[in-house]
Amino acid sequence: MERNRYADLLRVCAIGGVVLGHWLLVSITYRDGHLSGLDALQYIGWSRWVTLLLQVMPVFFVVGGYANAVSWTAHHQRGEGWANWVRGRMLRLLWPTTMYIVVGALAVTMARIAGADKAALARAGWFAALHLWFLPVYLLLIALTPLLLAAHRRWGLAVPAVTAGATAGVDALVLGPHLPLIGFANYLLVWGTMHQWGFAWHDGTLTRPRWRCGILAAVGAVLLTTLLAWGPFPVDMVGTGARAGNTTPPSIALLAFAATQTGLVLAAEPAVERLLARPWRWQLVSRLNQTVMTVYLWQMMPVIIVAVTFYPTGVMPQPAIGSAQWWALRLAWIVLLTALLVPLTAGVMRAQRPLRLLPAGLGAAGWWSPVLVLCALGAIVPALARLAIDGFAPGGHVPVLLSATYTCGLLAALCSGRPPSERAAG
């Protein structure tokens, strides 16, 4: 099947929006010998409205649903099973992620040997690992794709309608009886609903006729306006609020926002596809698409490099957040970070080339393969979630137990077998 050029473009644009948002809203400070990072949203009240443009992760999950539907359908038609497919999709994400984690652990170790302040190291380690939250959620959705896709083929758009209702129920329990732990269910319900929209995009349920996209956008916009005007949810789509937040855990307000965004984005598909018909534009998108995972993982490294290099020396000025000088320096800040990220991405991708030669599994497949894949998910998903919460250096040290858990999960995935093509070739 020919690749969906628009899906690839959306993936590239979504990652670009994530990087721009993170870079734009972080403000580095250096005072009394201590480096720190401040969230500009806490100091510029109107900037919370800007998050309606900068929150683009819903697009990534919709595209992920589309891609997983395409991939699982093709594998299933070839007679390949769940374990083989999940292992392959999982390792495609885990090899570059493992490289990032190893580099992070080595950096923390060297910093401790050099006598770095534990508190500063813990802060930097948290900052460098925060964006890894995406991986445990997405890995679970990959594992559930065959089941969720089967549900979509049977019940269609009723599935995301039910998960949306469940999301509202979870929010009611969190805000009413104050049961915060149940809020974690919304990580799967909210992002999973967007993933289901990707299925509906794939088979045309949501896009044929195209006016259905407009309906989704309109319903989302009405619900979002209602929730922001009379509900407890803040307009900030990337942070927290006084009573309720929209991302940790995700809320029904974020889902309403995602519906508006998804409807508008899918409605624009025919017009944008005509633009991508030119070969040079598609080639550019295709090349950028190959860098998406690397850019996502390493996006905060330029920030740390600039912070450590330029702020303690006084090279970078520190105007008040939100001042005219601060905004003027944002452009120079983004240009400088981009100038660092481009060669960093190229270097990392070159270093990752040997990873393409690594196996998609070891040994023979058998009845144990699904068990080992489940064990791998059971180790890797909580390890990555904990890493995203605590960072690379909780308490100023490498989290040894967490690293060991992740390693065991990776080994379990590898030992669950090899794809049929590799076994035949061997």
Do residues 298 and 337 touch, judged by C-beta distance below 8 A?
Answer: no
Based on C-alpha coordinates, what's the Rg of the chain?
A: 22
Q: Supply the pLDDT for residue 243.
A: 62
Of residues 354 and 413, the one with the higher pLDDT is 413
- Residue-by-residue DSSP string for 248-276: TTB-HHHHHHHHHHHHHHHHTHHHHHHHT
Of residues 30 and 8, the one with the higher pLDDT is 8
Mean pLDDT of the chain: 90
Instruction: State how far the Cα of 330 lies from the Cα of 8, in Å rounded to an integer.
Output: 29
| Range(s) of the domain holding residue 403 | 82-155+360-426
Provide mean pLDDT across the span 98-106. Answer: 94
Instruction: State how far the Cα of 153 lies from the Cα of 83, in Å rounded to an integer.
Output: 21
Q: Is residue 373 part of a domain?
A: yes
Residue-wise pLDDT tens digits, 193-221: 999 999 999 999 999 999 999 999 999 99
Q: Supply the pLDDT for residue 248.
A: 86
Provide mean pLDDT across the span 249-259. Answer: 96
Q: 37 falls in which pLDDT band (50, 70, 90)?
A: confident
Q: Is residue 397 part of a domain?
A: yes
Answer whether the bond into residue 209 is a cis peptide, omega within 30°.
yes
Q: Is residue 387 part of a domain?
A: yes
Residue-wise pLDDT tens digits, 341-378: 999 999 999 988 876 666 666 767 787 889 999 999 99
Q: 419 falls in which pLDDT band (50, 70, 90)?
A: low
Backbone angles phi, psi at 261, to 5 degrees: -65, -45
Provide mean pLDDT across the span 325-347. Answer: 93
- Residue-by-residue DSSP string for 347-386: HHHHHHGGGGGS-S--S---THHHHHHHHHHHHHHHHHHH
Do residues 352 and 382 touch, judged by C-beta distance below 8 A?
Answer: no
Percent of the chain with pLDDT over 90: 63
pLDDT at 421 over 80: no
Q: Is residue 379 part of a domain?
A: yes
Q: Is residue 256 part of a domain?
A: no
Provide mean pLDDT across the span 74-92. Answer: 92
Closest CA to 255 of 322, 302, 188: 188
Q: Is residue 315 part of a domain?
A: no
In the three-class reduction of DSSP (H, G, I as helix; E, B as strand; rest coil), residue 235 is classed as coil
Identify the top-confidence range among 153-162, 303-312, 408-417.
153-162
Structure tokens at 134: 């995406």
Q: Supply the pLDDT for residue 3.
A: 81
pLDDT at 148 over 90: yes
Q: Is residue 244 part of a domain?
A: no
pLDDT at 121 over 90: no
Lowest mean pLDDT, pick from 181-190, 284-293, 305-314 = 305-314
pLDDT at 181 over 60: yes
pTM of the model: 0.93
**Considering its fold, how many domains does the chain have in total?**
1
Q: 186 falls in which pLDDT band (50, 70, 90)?
A: very high
At a CB cut-off of 8 Å and minimum separation 6, what does 262 contact? 58, 59, 62, 194, 197, 213, 216, 217, 220
Provide mean pLDDT across the span 135-143. Answer: 97
Q: Supply the pLDDT for residue 242.
A: 52
- β partners of residue 12: none
Structure tokens at 10: 């959306």
Q: Is residue 132 part of a domain?
A: yes
Closest CA to 8 of 233, 291, 204, 262: 291
Provide mean pLDDT across the span 108-127. Answer: 88
Q: Supply the pLDDT for residue 47.
A: 81
